[in-house]
């Protein structure tokens, strides 16, 4: 393919994938409200949009109750009065929501979504992605996720509100603190696969998911992702009794909606990253024979990740801020450093051929 054809392909595929994830974001909100309602024994959305079924025994029956709730919420946000407070920094105030949304979309560029589908994947590449073959894909993801901090802290600062500034400082300190542990946990799959290409990491899991080789790294990554998203029990920026809503308290209308969209799109994106790094990505039964199954497997793994986040939100109370920071710096970071060092030593010893003679000597000693 010529450079021009590669660019056109990336634009088309990127538009399709982005559209799918934006649509998925809308229905992730519905999924969360439905599942939370089920877990907490209350009624979720069941009015906006349903298919009436014939009554049975005098009781009204509904199919897909609440299916149009995301559309109703979008219409409400579009037509809601969007007030700009006085004395804000207008340029940065308007730029901050974009800095929150754009990284959530850019992350998707290097995530493998399927294997080598003949009519979708051009020849030198072995998997389907918006930008396949990026040999520093993991580094790209870490760099892009770090940009989200700017959207948060600039939104708080530009709002000209003490509550918003405190919320922005809190949220940015939390995100930076847990990014350290997340970065160290991400290094484990890189070492196991000997590659920073996301497709190479998926290919290295052909004979077994990395979560079974390194459950500690997978667990640390999962916790760090929840803190990065500011999801419960790490949702300190939304501590209403203290900060009245956090860094976005002065936003309304679609500018508030963009922060809302960024959170739910990041939920899907980071679930996809977790699936790729530790749970085999698009790999599953018969995926080599039928590459299109990769789209099904990665979608199932993303949905399971979303359901897990929703379950955690319904189950755990919010931490105090000092507990959150102490856990990040005093527990999660030391454990992730120790895990990284031990894993590096084990891999070096394995490469030097130390383990085989050692195992043979131990077995000989036990047998003799």
- First vs last Cα of the chain: how many Å apart? 63
Comparing 44-48, 68-72, 113-117, the range with the smallest average pLDDT is 44-48
Predicted pLDDT of residue 292: 92
DSSP 127: S
Nearest residue to 181 (alpha-carbon basis) of 147, 229, 223? 223
The answer to whether residue 339 is domain-embedded is: yes
Structural domain harbouring 220: 80-367
The answer to whether residue 42 is domain-embedded is: no
The answer to whether residue 8 is domain-embedded is: no
d(CA 306, CA 309): 5
Predicted pLDDT of residue 256: 86
pLDDT at 238 over 70: no
Question: Do 273 and 305 meet the contact criterion of CB atoms below 8 Å apart?
Answer: no
- In terms of pLDDT, which residue wins out, 266 or 237? 266
Q: How would you classify the pairing of strands 51-56 and 59-63?
A: antiparallel
**What's the whole-model pTM score?**
0.90
For the chain, how many structural domains are there in total? 1
In three-state secondary structure terms, 54 is strand
The answer to whether residue 34 is domain-embedded is: no
**Mean pLDDT calculated for residue range 305-332:** 90
Predicted pLDDT of residue 321: 82
Cis peptide before 194 (omega within 30 of 0): no
d(CA 303, CA 32): 11
Q: What is the average pLDDT value for the chain, to the nearest integer? A: 87
The answer to whether residue 261 is domain-embedded is: yes
Classify residue 237 by burial, with Cβ atoms within 10 Å: 0-12, 13-18, 19+.
buried
d(CA 160, CA 180): 30
Helix and strand counts by DSSP (H, E) for the chain:
14, 2
Question: Do 96 and 154 meet the contact criterion of CB atoms below 8 Å apart?
Answer: yes
The per-residue pLDDT for range 139-152, each reduced to its tens digit, is 999 999 888 888 88
Which residues are CB-neighbours of 239 under 8 A, at least 6 positions away?
A: 246, 318, 321
d(CA 332, CA 224): 9
* Max CA pair span of the chain: 84
The answer to whether residue 240 is domain-embedded is: yes
The answer to whether residue 9 is domain-embedded is: no
d(CA 109, CA 112): 9
The answer to whether residue 59 is domain-embedded is: no
- In terms of pLDDT, which residue wins out, 123 or 242? 123
Predicted pLDDT of residue 165: 86
Question: Do 167 and 125 meet the contact criterion of CB atoms below 8 Å apart?
Answer: no
The per-residue pLDDT for range 240-253, each reduced to its tens digit, is 566 566 788 888 88
Which residues are CB-neighbours of 177 under 8 A, at least 6 positions away?
A: 227, 325, 328, 329, 333
Q: Which residue has the tokens 């390194």?
A: 214
d(CA 215, CA 192): 13
Residue 133 dihedral angles phi and psi, to the nearest 5°? 75, 15
pLDDT at 83 over 90: no
Confidence of residue 184 (pLDDT cuts 50, 70, 90): very high
Question: Do 66 and 44 meet the contact criterion of CB atoms below 8 Å apart?
Answer: yes
Predicted pLDDT of residue 281: 92
**Mean pLDDT calculated for residue range 329-336:** 94
Nearest residue to 281 (alpha-carbon basis) of 261, 305, 307, 262? 305
């Amino acid at each position: 393919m010529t450079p021009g054809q590669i660019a056109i392909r990336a634009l088309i595929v990127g538009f399709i994938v982005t559209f799918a994830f934006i649509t998925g974001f809308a229905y992730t909100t519905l999924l969360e409200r439905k599942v939370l309602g089920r877990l907490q024994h209350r009624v979720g959305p069941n009015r906006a949009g349903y298919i009436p079924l014939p009554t049975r025994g005098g009781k009204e029956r509904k199919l897909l109750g609440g299916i149009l709730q995301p559309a109703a919420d979008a219409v409400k946000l579009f037509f809601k009065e969007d007030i700009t407070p006085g004395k804000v920094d207008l340029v940065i105030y308007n730029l901050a929501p974009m800095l929150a949304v754009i990284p959530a979309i850019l992350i998707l560029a290097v995530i493998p979504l399927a294997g080598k589908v003949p009519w979708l994947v051009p020849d030198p590449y072995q998997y389907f992605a918006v930008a396949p073959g990026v040999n520093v894909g993991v580094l790209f993801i870490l760099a892009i996720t770090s940009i989200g901090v700017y959207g948060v802290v600039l939104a708080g600062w530009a709002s000209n509100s003490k509550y918003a500034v405190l919320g922005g400082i809190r949220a940015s300190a939390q995100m930076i603190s847990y990014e350290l542990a997340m970065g160290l946990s991400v290094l484990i799959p890189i070492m196991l696969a000997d590659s920073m290409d996301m497709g190479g990491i998926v290919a290295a899991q052909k004979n077994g998911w990395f979560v079974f080789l390194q459950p500690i790294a997978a667990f640390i990554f999962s916790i760090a992702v929840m803190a990065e998203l500011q999801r419960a029990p790490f949702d300190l920026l939304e501590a209403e009794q203290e900060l009245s809503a956090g860094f976005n308290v002065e936003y309304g209308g679609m500018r508030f909606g963009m922060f809302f969209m960024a959170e739910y799109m990041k939920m899907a994106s980071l679930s996809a990253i977790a699936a790729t790094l530790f749970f085999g990505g698009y790999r599953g039964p018969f995926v080599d024979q039928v590459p299109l199954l990769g789209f099904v497997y990665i979608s199932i793994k993303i949905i399971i990740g979303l359901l897990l986040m929703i379950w955690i939100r319904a189950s755990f109370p919010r931490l105090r801020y000092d507990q959150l920071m102490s856990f990040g710096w005093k527990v999660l970071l030391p454990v992730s450093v120790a895990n990284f060092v031990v894993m590096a030593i084990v891999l070096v010893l394995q490469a030097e051929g130390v383990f085989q003679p050692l195992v043979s000597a131990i077995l000989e000693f036990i047998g003799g």
